[in-house]
Structure 1
Amino acid sequence: MSNQQFVSAVIDRIVDGITAVLLLEEEQAQLEVPVDRLPPGSAEGLWLLVLVEDGELIEARVDPEKTRRIKERIRQKRALLLERMTRGRRNN
């Protein structure tokens, strides 16, 4: 029996519509893979659970919950920044 483990990765960017650059969270590494090896509808900013063996992508699954959490955190930070900027303009 194999001791394979899925790890979190985010699609950092897609180059020329051909190659996706994944940032592997735990390993703090990046992996370049053909876009056609990713789940349908994959886009920049999407979080995945990936299985990598010897530097090769074996399997990728969408992680909708992590994608939602990260997007919500970014939305909150943007709102806070906008609020601070607006407050700063009023005080000047």
Structure 2
Amino acid sequence: MNGEYTAVVDRIVDGQQAVLLIEDGDETIDEMVIDVDRLPQNATERAVLEVQIQNGSLTDMEYLPEQTEARLERVQKRFDRLSKPLSEEDS
């Protein structure tokens, strides 16, 4: 795998390792595990990153706060919509 991709910090394990989901468009194409200390400053779980991968190795990362916030808002809106009870009109 080579190129520039979007990645999301899926989870942090034992405060030591971060699991990144590598995306190409709307599809998750790979998963990488890195040491937490390699994450950009302010990048926590659910952070959106722009990553550079060369020969299957992560060479550079940039935290994208605006994209992170937008993604979290979309997820919250979806959750709110799904958690509302159906009205009688919708049945």
- Structure 2 residue runs of 5 or longer lacking an equivalent are none
Over the residues paired in the alignment, what is the CA RMSD in angstroms?
1.9
More helix by share: 1
CA contact (8 A) 1:31 1:55 kept: no
Code of the aligned partner of 1:21? V
Distance in 1 (alpha carbons) for counterparts of 2:10 and 2:44: 9
Q: What corresponds to 1:9 in structure 2?
A: 7
1:82 positional shift? 2.2
1:36 positional shift? 0.8
TM-score (norm 2): 0.80
1:55 positional shift? 2.1
CA contact (8 A) 1:50 1:58 kept: yes
TM-score (norm 1): 0.79
1:46 positional shift? 0.5
1:45 aligns with 2:43: no
Q: What corresponds to 2:85 in structure 1?
A: 84
Q: Pick the structure with greater CA Rg.
A: 1
Alignment of 1:12-91 (within 5 A): 12-26=10-24, 28-84=29-85, 87=87
CA contact (8 A) 2:53 2:60 kept: yes
Code of the aligned partner of 1:6? E
Code of the aligned partner of 1:32? V
CA contact (8 A) 2:16 2:35 kept: yes
Count residues in correspondence. 84
1:56 positional shift? 1.7
